[in-house]
């Protein structure tokens, strides 16, 4: 059933509300002025002036009120490169990172090469968006991947991360530097073979990315594309993401052992509690050496630990 949307001014919406007064309902979604249910149609009028007609008689009802708004054509967001047709079937280096939102643990960046011939294998191994995979699935798939495809892994450990951050470097810049380096390392590993494309899971506008790495000796620009949700665009990004997550999990295991506390992911309250425990057992410096210290969690943990 097609929805019909019209744009109406306040007066028209008031008029409509009067017209439908016998079929108004009490339940309003956020931002709605009224919801009416004449036969064969649900009408929702919003404060923004949008009026939505749903149901088999939606068009009939809407036609007496005004002009139908043409559907909006989504324009690609600024700085997003349009990818070539059939890009998903190309031989591609995908690049992705993990750990940027976790208080504990490093940032891991992986570039991985999946050539055309390997695409069926990727599907067979279960490579897909890592957000839909459990940790144990990640570990299993990553072990197969590591044996099957060329990749390059970089780990930015917490002491170095904290030093860079203290000098005023943003996470965005750190990530850009790491991606550029991981891609260069992989290209060197693969030489003389070249990928048809390089896809970076986009975390910043293209121009900003290149500005971040402008002082680097070597900058990979050739064949580089950016896209958000890269994991769903090419399996190489999904593979990179799985290996990066695997590496991150292994680092977290090492940190748990070092801390004598099971270290949690994320940056929520449970993280503050674990961090406070580590302060009590090992001291603030030890905690600092395993966390992204500028996160608000550090202060909360210090408070919780009563230091």
Residues that bind Mg ion (CB under 5 A): 96, 201
> How far are the Cα atoms of 88, 110, 118, 275 from residue 97, in angstroms, in the given order?
20, 6, 22, 24
Of 201 and 251, CB closest to Mg ion: 201
- Give least dist CB 144 to Mg ion, A: 21
The CA distance from 187 to 166, in Å, is 31
- Taking the least distance from each CB to Mg ion, the nearer of 33 and 92 is 92
Q: With beta carbons less than 8 A apart as the criterion, state whether 89 and 239 touch.
A: no
Closer residue to Mg ion in complex, CB, 61/96: 96
Complex with Mg ion: residue 233 or 287, whichever CB lies closer: 233
Sequence-separated (6 or more) residues with CB below 8 Å from residue 187: 93, 194, 195, 220
CB of 201 to Mg ion, least distance (A): 4
* Between 48 and 81, CB nearer to Mg ion: 81
CB of 107 to Mg ion, least distance (A): 11
Residue 161 beta carbon to Mg ion: minimum distance, rounded to whole angstroms: 17
Give me the torsion for CA of 224, 227, 233, 235, rounded to 10°: 60
Distance of closest approach, residue 38 Cβ to Mg ion, in angstroms: 47
| Closest residue to Mg ion using C-beta atoms | 201
Q: Which is nearer to Mg ion, 208 or 289 (CB)?
A: 208
Q: Which two tokens stand for residue 250?
A: 């292994």
Nearest to 209 by CA among 188, 181, 179, 237: 179
What is the Cα–Cα distance from 252 to 57, expressed in whole angstroms?
57
CB atoms within 10 A of CB 50: 16
CB of 96 to Mg ion, least distance (A): 4
E-state strands within 150-305: 151-156, 197-201, 224-227
């Amino acid at each position: 059933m097609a929805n019909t949307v019209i744009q109406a001014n306040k007066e028209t919406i008031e008029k409509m509300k009067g017209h439908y007064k016998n079929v108004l309902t009490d339940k309003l979604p956020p931002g709605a002025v009224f919801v009416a249910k004449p036969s064969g149609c649900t009408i929702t009028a919003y404060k923004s002036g949008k009026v939505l007609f749903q149901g088999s008689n939606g068009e009939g009802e809407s036609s007496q009120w005004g002009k139908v708004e043409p559907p909006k054509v989504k324009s690609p967001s600024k700085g997003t490169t349009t990818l070539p047709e059939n890009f998903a079937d190309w031989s591609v280096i995908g690049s992705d990172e993990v750990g940027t939102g976790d208080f504990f643990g490093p940032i891991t960046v992986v570039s991985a090469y999946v050539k055309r011939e390997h695409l069926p294998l990727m599907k067979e191994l279960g490579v897909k968006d890592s957000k839909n995979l459990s940790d144990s699935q990640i570990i299993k798939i990553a072990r197969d991947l590591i044996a099957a495809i060329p990749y390059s892994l970089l780990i930015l450990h917490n002491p170095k991360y904290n030093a860079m951050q203290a000098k005023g470097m943003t996470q965005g810049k750190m990530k850009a530097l790491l991606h550029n380096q991981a891609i260069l390392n992989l290209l060197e590993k693969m030489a003389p073979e070249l990928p048809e494309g390089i896809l970076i899971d986009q975390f910043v506008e293209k121009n900003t990315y290149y500005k971040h790495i402008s002082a680097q000796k070597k900058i990979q620009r050739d064949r580089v594309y950016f896209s958000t949700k890269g994991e769903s665009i090419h399996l190489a990004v999904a593979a990179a993401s799985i290996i990066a997550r695997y590496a991150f999990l292994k680092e977290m295991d090492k940190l748990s052992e070092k801390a004598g506390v099971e270290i949690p992911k994320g940056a929520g309250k449970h993280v503050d509690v674990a961090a406070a425990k580590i302060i009590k057992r090992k001291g603030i410096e030890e905690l600092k050496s395993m966390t992204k210290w500028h996160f608000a969690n550090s202060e909360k943990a210090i408070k919780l630990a009563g230091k």
